[in-house]
Structure 1
Amino acid sequence: MAHQNSSVALIVGVTGMVGVALTEALANPTALGGPWTIYGVSRHSLPSWFPSSLLNKHIMLDTLNKQNTQKLLSPLSAKVTHVFWVAISVNDNEEVNISKNSSMLSNVLNALTSSTDSKLSHVTLQTGTKQYMGPIYDPTLSSQLVPYDAPFREDYPRLPFPNFYYALEDIVASYPESFTYSIHRSSIIIGASTRSYYNSLLSLSVYALICKHENYPFRFVGNKYSWEHFWDMSDARVLAEQQIWASVTKKAKNEAFNCTNGDVFSWKLLWKVLCDVFDVEFVTFDEKENFDFLEFMKNKGEVWDTIVEENGLYKTKMEEITCFKAIDITYKLKIQHVCSMNRSRQFEFHGYANTLASISFWVERLRQMKILP
Structure 2
Amino acid sequence: MKALVIGGSGLVGGHLVRALAAAGWETAATQRTPPRASPATHRAIALDLLDPASVQALPGQVAGVSHVFFLARTLQKGYRIERESNVRVLEAVLDVLQDLPSLRHVQLVHGLKWYGSTAGPFPVPARESDPVPGAAHFYYDQHALVRERAQGRPWHWSTLRPHCVSGVATHSPSNVMLGMAVYAQLMKEQGLPLAFPGSQAAFDARLTYTSADLLARAMLWAAADPAARDEDFNVANGDVFSWSQVWPAVAAAFGMEAAPPRPQALRDTMPPLAVLWSRVVQRDALVPNALPALVDWNFMDATLALAWEQTMSLEKLRRHGFGETVDTPAMILEIIQAYRRLRILPAP
* Matching of residues 92-241 of structure 1 within 5 Å: 97-114=82-99, 117-133=100-116, 136=118, 145-176=119-150, 177-178=152-153, 179-241=155-217
The residue aligned with 1:4 is none
- Counterparts of 2:5 and 2:32 in 1: how far apart (Å)? 12
Secondary structure at the aligned position of 1:53 is classed as coil
8 Å CA contact 2:266, 2:300 repeated in 1: no
1:161 is aligned with what amino acid?
A
- Counterparts of 1:366 and 1:61 in 2: how far apart (Å)? 28
**Residue number among 232, 241, 246 corresponding to 1:256 in the alignment:** 232
**Residue number among 287, 297, 301 corresponding to 2:270 in the alignment:** 297
Q: Does 1:245 align with 2:231?
A: no
8 Å CA contact 1:10, 1:84 repeated in 2: yes
Per the TM alignment, residue 198 of structure 1 is displaced from its structure 2 partner at its CA by 2.2
- Counterparts of 1:62 and 1:191 in 2: how far apart (Å)? 25
The residue aligned with 1:268 is 244
8 Å CA contact 1:78, 1:118 repeated in 2: no
8 Å CA contact 1:202, 1:322 repeated in 2: yes
The residue aligned with 2:39 is 52
Aligned residue pairs, count: 344
Per the TM alignment, residue 46 of structure 1 is displaced from its structure 2 partner at its CA by 5.2
Per the TM alignment, residue 52 of structure 1 is displaced from its structure 2 partner at its CA by 2.0
* Matching of residues 272-291 of structure 1 within 5 Å: 272-285=248-261, 291=264
The residue aligned with 1:20 is 14
- Counterparts of 1:279 and 1:10 in 2: how far apart (Å)? 43
Give CA deviations for 1:175-199 in whole Å, capped at 9, x if unaligned. Answer: 2233211111110110111332421
Per the TM alignment, residue 298 of structure 1 is displaced from its structure 2 partner at its CA by 3.5
Per the TM alignment, residue 15 of structure 1 is displaced from its structure 2 partner at its CA by 1.5
**Residue number among 35, 38, 50 corresponding to 1:64 in the alignment:** 50
Per the TM alignment, residue 45 of structure 1 is displaced from its structure 2 partner at its CA by 5.0
8 Å CA contact 1:153, 1:339 repeated in 2: yes
Per the TM alignment, residue 361 of structure 1 is displaced from its structure 2 partner at its CA by 2.1
Q: Structure 1 residues 202, 44: closer, same or farther in 2, change over 3 A?
A: farther
Query: Gaps spanning 5+ residues in structure 2: where?
Result: none
- Counterparts of 1:108 and 1:146 in 2: how far apart (Å)? 33
Q: Structure 1 residues 107, 308: closer, same or farther in 2, change over 3 A?
A: farther
Q: Structure 1 residues 210, 185: closer, same or farther in 2, change over 3 A?
A: same
The residue aligned with 1:370 is 343
What is the TM-score of this pair, normalised by structure 2?
0.91
What is the TM-score of this pair, normalised by structure 1?
0.85
Secondary structure at the aligned position of 1:316 is classed as coil
Give the % identical residues.
28
Per the TM alignment, residue 157 of structure 1 is displaced from its structure 2 partner at its CA by 1.6
**Residue number among 32, 44, 66 corresponding to 1:43 in the alignment:** 32
Query: Gaps spanning 5+ residues in structure 1: where?
Result: 1-6, 137-144
Per the TM alignment, residue 312 of structure 1 is displaced from its structure 2 partner at its CA by 2.8
The alignment's C-alpha RMSD in Å is 2.3
8 Å CA contact 1:261, 1:352 repeated in 2: yes
Per the TM alignment, residue 228 of structure 1 is displaced from its structure 2 partner at its CA by 2.0
Per the TM alignment, residue 169 of structure 1 is displaced from its structure 2 partner at its CA by 0.9
Q: Structure 1 residues 96, 245: closer, same or farther in 2, change over 3 A?
A: closer
